[in-house]
Structure 1
Amino acid sequence: MGDWRGMLDQLVRERGRALFGYAYVLTGERDQAEDLLQDALVRAFRSGRRASSLDAAHAYVKRAIATAFIDRARRASTRPRTAAGDLQDWVGHLPVAADHAPRVTTALDLQSALLTLPPRERACVALRFIDDMTVADVADTLGLATGTVKRYLSDGIARLREAMPDLELHDSETAAVDVKGGGER
């Protein structure tokens, strides 16, 4: 039983920050990201089986994070919503260094725009552009077809550009989809 504990310790020690960062990008809130990462680690290691390598364990936990996030979003959409804090309240509590203000503002705008995306689009965009995965890797990580990932990426990028017209996202693996039914862009 010590085998999986050693792998878990090594994973958290060496890749914990990256996994937390991924969870944070999906949730947008520190507490929720911590809970999501904890749930994913429990899912990944509850059977007591040892992963074949640190990379395999990392990939498995990352997929568990995405799956748990999508499951939570699906469950939350069926429950009545309570009045939650406004994004401006959340932003107001963040420490901001004066010399980094433009970059921080852009990052917060991007985070805000990401939070408007549906869960699957957000997961695809985060894996593709933040983790710099290929479309095939995103599809493999999320257990989706590559065409489905391309569609989620196309829709997600379009929504992000509506919110942030100056956003520069170049994806050589996907082609823009014109949903207006013809005409040139």
Structure 2
Amino acid sequence: MTVQSTPRPTDASYVAFVEVAWQRHMRLALLLTGDRWRAEELLQDSLVKMYQRWRKLSQLDDPHAYLHRCLVNNHTSIWRRLRRERLVADVPDRAASGGGVDHDAIALRRALLSLPPRQRAVVVLRHYEDLPEREVAKVLGCSIGTVKSQHARAMEKLRHLVDQPSRTGSR
């Protein structure tokens, strides 16, 4: 049995894909999970799944869309497996430009993390990734009507939680 010492051509295209896309997808994973370590694990698991199918996936018009869907689906699977895991970040990822803590950003992040995973995914894909409803539906594998209703419920809850920070922890 001969061991290959040079990477296959598909390996090189995969490495190039990951190098270009890592930061973009890491931010999406971070917004989905709310935790840097879990986000990295989610992204790595999704990229491993992509690598196993890379010969076919590299032929797609947009393998990034596949990775979006993979991230969301894997996060949902993890969430279901662990049941209703609650993530609340007490420390912001970065300080505000004035050197202080951006309390509005913390409140918004906590509110976002309190949403059910599907609603959180809709909000992140619509507002952070700036995808139209049709693309969000495609990524999540649901109808446009489901995206609209999940978005409406999520925005209502976010407005309530952000407007009334003293109730953030209660229902």
Q: TM-score, normalised by structure 1?
A: 0.76
One-letter amino acid of the structure 2 residue matched with residue 63 of structure 1: R
- Would you say 1:115 and 2:113 are equivalent positions? yes
Cα deviation code 1:101-148 (max 9, x no counterpart) = 36x322222111110000000001100000111000100111111011
Cα deviation code 1:147-175 (max 9, x no counterpart) = 11111101111110111139xxxxxxxxx
Describe the shift of the 1:23–1:145 C-alpha distance in structure 2 as closer, same or farther (beyond 3 A): same
- Would you say 1:15 and 2:21 are equivalent positions? yes
Could you list the runs of 5+ residues in structure 1 that have no partner in the other structure? 167-185
One-letter amino acid of the structure 1 residue matched with residue 50 of structure 2: A
Retained in 1: the 8 A contact 2:111–2:158?
A: yes
- Would you say 1:161 and 2:168 are equivalent positions? no
The aligned residue for residue 87 of structure 1 is 89
Describe the shift of the 1:98–1:145 C-alpha distance in structure 2 as closer, same or farther (beyond 3 A): closer
Task: Return the match for 1:52 from 54, 59, 77.
Answer: 59
Could you list the runs of 5+ residues in structure 2 that have no partner in the other structure? 1-6, 165-171
Per the TM alignment, residue 42 of structure 1 is displaced from its structure 2 partner at its CA by 1.1
The aligned residue for residue 42 of structure 1 is 48
Q: TM-score, normalised by structure 2?
A: 0.81
Question: Aligned Cα RMSD in Å?
Answer: 2.4
Describe the shift of the 1:76–1:131 C-alpha distance in structure 2 as closer, same or farther (beyond 3 A): same
Describe the shift of the 1:95–1:141 C-alpha distance in structure 2 as closer, same or farther (beyond 3 A): closer
Retained in 1: the 8 A contact 2:34–2:87?
A: no
Report SS of the residue matched to 1:99. coil
- For residues 22 and 131 of structure 2, the distance between their equivalents in structure 1, rounded to whole angstroms, comes to 19
Q: Percent identity?
A: 31
Per the TM alignment, residue 46 of structure 1 is displaced from its structure 2 partner at its CA by 1.1
Task: Flag as ranges the 4+ runs of structure 1 deviating above 6 A.
Answer: none
The aligned residue for residue 168 of structure 2 is none
The aligned residue for residue 101 of structure 1 is 100
